[in-house]
């Protein structure tokens, strides 16, 4: 089925992204995976090549391109090149951190942070998850207490993407212990602020090259000018931005599933067993038919959600549907692809092996599958309240 989703400008941008990945990422990727850290020079190269900060307004150093289909192109090319660790860090910067600053930041904040982030000179992170608090954002214990013209921040965060490299960290903290969800605010903590330190660089099952860290805040004095958005409205701000984050995961999931299917389709018609290509066996053909059909059906839904996002019409419930379905599909497809590769599917030198370990987190971060179903279920139940 022909996919009527992209236009000429998107196809031209795909060539740019593909050439960038081939030149600046793929030759170094195995080393980054081994060292569990991507060189900062790759971020600078991404900034120069127009891969970063597309939606940042031109006056702050970006391209002012708000059509999310361009981000879809970049995500698909990362999946095709099996450089997911690099793409994951970029996704965090472009689809999570930058929108918060772009939408909530004051003019002074935008001038201070956006140009460097669009250029790859500043790397961003968002610190929500805590050691004892995962999906329950209302249960966070990190505190921010007002002290003259500053806020004093104390707490610990974990599983923070870009945690080691980060120069600008949006921290979710409790500013009123008695106000529940209305007592949460967002603060921007900058590298080298006294009391801000990095804990362990976490050793994950997959996404080896994408740095993930623990962050520690011990009496960090954050200027009042670094409050992002409205005091006490942090939970609302998070809810407003989660649909984009979840669409980023959904787009990544279906892109990874498609890339894995295509590697496997080619492999089974090259690899022979019992005197003929594996693809000539009925079981293999049925598996290919099932995967391709599920991918195309899911792609249609995700594409519609992207267009709704572009139009400002994507709601949290539809984003949750796309996120849980696409990420669970990704797991199913890649598991089947590993099986069809046989022993070679378990080798990290094959892209399907990387895709297998990298895919497991997709149903967990950005809100687990169970949380996505709860969001959808609550919406259904609300119609009968």
- Can you name the residues that pair with 173 across neighbouring β-strands? 185
The reported pLDDT for the residue numbered 385 is 79
Q: Does 194 fall in a domain?
A: yes
Give me the half-sphere count of Cα atoms (radius 13 Å) on the Cβ side of residue 4.
0
Q: Domain boundary at 214, 232, 250, which?
A: 232
Query: Which CATH number fits the domain that encloses residue 193?
Result: 2.40.110.10
Q: Does 2 fall in a domain?
A: no
Q: How far apart are CA 224 and CA 85, in angstroms?
A: 34
Per-residue pLDDT tens over the stretch 75-100: 999 999 999 999 999 999 999 999 99
Same-domain pairing of 205 and 254: no
Same-domain pairing of 47 and 69: yes
Other CB atoms within 10 A of residue 236 CB: 14
Q: Does 291 fall in a domain?
A: yes
Same-domain pairing of 369 and 245: yes
Alpha helices in the chain (DSSP H): 8-20, 29-35, 40-48, 69-80, 84-92, 98-104, 107-118, 234-270, 282-310, 316-341, 351-359, 369-382
Number of compact structural domains in the chain: 3
pTM: 0.95
Helix, strand and coil percent figures for the chain, each rounded to 5: 60, 15, 25
245 is catalytic: yes
Same-domain pairing of 163 and 50: no
Q: Does 139 fall in a domain?
A: yes
- DSSP 8-state secondary structure symbol assigned to residue 344: G
Which of these, 136, 212, 210, lies nearest to 172 by C-alpha position? 136
Contact 283, 355 (CB under 8 A): no
Same-domain pairing of 222 and 166: yes
The reported pLDDT for the residue numbered 325 is 98
Residue-range definition of the domain harbouring residue 151:
125-232
Q: How far apart are CA 94 and CA 86, in angstroms?
A: 13
Catalytic residue among 30, 121, 245, 270: 245
Same-domain pairing of 54 and 177: no
Other CB atoms within 10 A of residue 89 CB: 26
Q: Domain boundary at 199, 232, 265, which?
A: 232
Q: Which stretches in the chain have pLDDT values below 50?
A: none
Helix axes 69-80, 84-92, angle to 10 degrees: 160
The reported pLDDT for the residue numbered 3 is 83
Task: Report CA dihedral (21, 22, 25, 29) to the nearest 10 degrees.
Answer: 130
């Amino acid at each position: 089925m022909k996919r009527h989703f992209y236009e000429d400008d998107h196809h031209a941008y795909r060539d740019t992204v593909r050439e960038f990945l081939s030149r600046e990422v793929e030759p170094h990727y195995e080393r980054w995976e081994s060292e569990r850290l991507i060189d900062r020079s790759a971020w600078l190269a991404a900034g120069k090549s127009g891969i970063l900060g597309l939606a940042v307004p031109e006056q702050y150093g970006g391209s002012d391109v708000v059509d999310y289909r361009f981000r879809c192109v970049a995500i698909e090319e990362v999946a095709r090149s099996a450089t997911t660790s690099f793409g994951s860090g970029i996704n965090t910067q472009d689809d999570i951190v930058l929108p918060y600053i772009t939408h909530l930041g004051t003019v002074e904040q935008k001038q201070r942070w956006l140009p460097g982030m669009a250029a790859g000179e500043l790397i961003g992170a968002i610190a929500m998850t805590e050691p004892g608090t995962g999906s329950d954002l209302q249960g966070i214990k990190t505190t921010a207490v007002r002290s003259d013209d500053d806020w004093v921040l104390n707490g610990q965060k974990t599983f923070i993407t870009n945690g080691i490299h980060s120069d600008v960290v949006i921290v979710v903290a409790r500013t009123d212990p008695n106000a529940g969800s209305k007592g949460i605010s967002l603060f921007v903590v900058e590298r080298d602020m006294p009391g801000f330190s990095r804990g362990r660089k976490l050793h994950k099952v997959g996404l080896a090259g994408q740095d993930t860290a623990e962050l520690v805040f011990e009496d960090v004095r954050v200027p009042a000018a670094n409050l992002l958005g409205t005091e006490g409205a942090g939970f609302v701000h998070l809810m407003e931005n989660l649909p984009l984050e979840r669409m980023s995961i959904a787009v990544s999931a279906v892109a990874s599933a498609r890339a894995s299917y295509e590697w496997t389709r080619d492999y089974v018609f090259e690899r022979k067993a019992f005197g003929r290509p594996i693809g000539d066996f009925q079981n293999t053909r049925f598996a290919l038919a099932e995967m391709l059909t599920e991918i195309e059906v899911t792609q249609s839904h995700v594409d519609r959600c992207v267009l709704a996002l572009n139009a400002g019409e994507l709601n949290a419930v539809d984003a949750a549907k796309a996120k849980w379905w696409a990420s669970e599909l990704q797991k199913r497809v890649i598991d089947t692809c590993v099986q069809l590769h046989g022993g070679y599917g378990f080798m990290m030198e094959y892209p399907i092996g990387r895709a297998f370990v990298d895919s497991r987190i997709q149903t967990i971060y950005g809100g687990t599958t169970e949380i996505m179903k709860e969001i959808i279920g609550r919406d259904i139940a609300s119609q009968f309240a």
